[in-house]
């Protein structure tokens, strides 16, 4: 299944390959202060692929906090965070906001709270490597 999505301004567009077709899409609501304030509910598929196309890179802010092992890609126009990436062993991994997905039936999305407080950096990166999207392309179309 191919799922499309974007930030509100459509400056960042997503193409998420989800194999096999999902019977449900896990949606993790992170309880950290950044995600709580931004409505961060994210999903990933370790068998999936993701292409992120950026029309105007100057309108995308990057934010890191805490362990500085994840980059939040933020639409500078509206503050939407459609994708988060993490570089692990020289490979990008990603999760996407379920709020940025287009045309996904709400009945497919299974919400669950998560809390990563107290997780060591080593454990955090291993979890991401197991669960996040391992095939990520980030395409900038203009300078």
How far apart, in whole angstroms, are the C-alpha atoms of residue 96 and residue 45? 10
Start-to-end C-alpha separation, the chain: 31
Residue 125 CB burial class (10 angstroms; 0-12, 13-18, ≥19): buried
Q: What is the pTM of this model?
A: 0.92
Identify the pLDDT of residue 39.
84
May I ask the CATH class of domain 2-140? mainly beta
Tens digit of pLDDT per residue, the chain (143 long)? 999 999 999 999 999 999 888 889 999 998 888 888 888 899 999 999 999 999 999 999 999 988 899 999 999 999 999 999 999 999 999 999 999 999 999 899 999 988 888 889 999 999 999 999 999 999 988 75
pLDDT of residue 67: 84
pLDDT of residue 129: 97
Assess contact for 5 and 16: CB atoms under 8 A. yes
What's the confidence (pLDDT) of residue 143?
57
**Residue 43, C-beta contacts closer than 8 angstroms, at least 6 positions apart:** 25, 26, 27, 28, 95, 96, 98, 101, 109
């Amino acid at each position: 299944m191919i799922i499309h999505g974007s930030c509100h301004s459509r400056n960042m567009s997503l193409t998420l390959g989800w194999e096999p077709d999902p019977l449900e899409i896990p949606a993790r609501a992170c309880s950290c202060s950044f995600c709580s304030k931004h409505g961060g509910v994210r999903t990933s598929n370790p068998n999936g692929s993701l292409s992120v196309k950026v029309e105007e890179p100057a309108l995308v802010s990057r934010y890191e906090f805490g362990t500085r092992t994840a980059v939040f890609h933020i639409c500078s126009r509206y503050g939407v965070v459609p994708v988060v990436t993490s570089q692990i062993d020289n490979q990008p991994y990603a999760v996407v906001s379920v709020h940025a997905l287009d045309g996904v039936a709400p009945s497919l999305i299974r919400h669950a709270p998560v809390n990563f407080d107290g997780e060591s950096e080593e454990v955090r990166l291993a979890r991401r490597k197991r669960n996040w999207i391992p095939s990520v392309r980030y395409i900038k179309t203009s300078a």
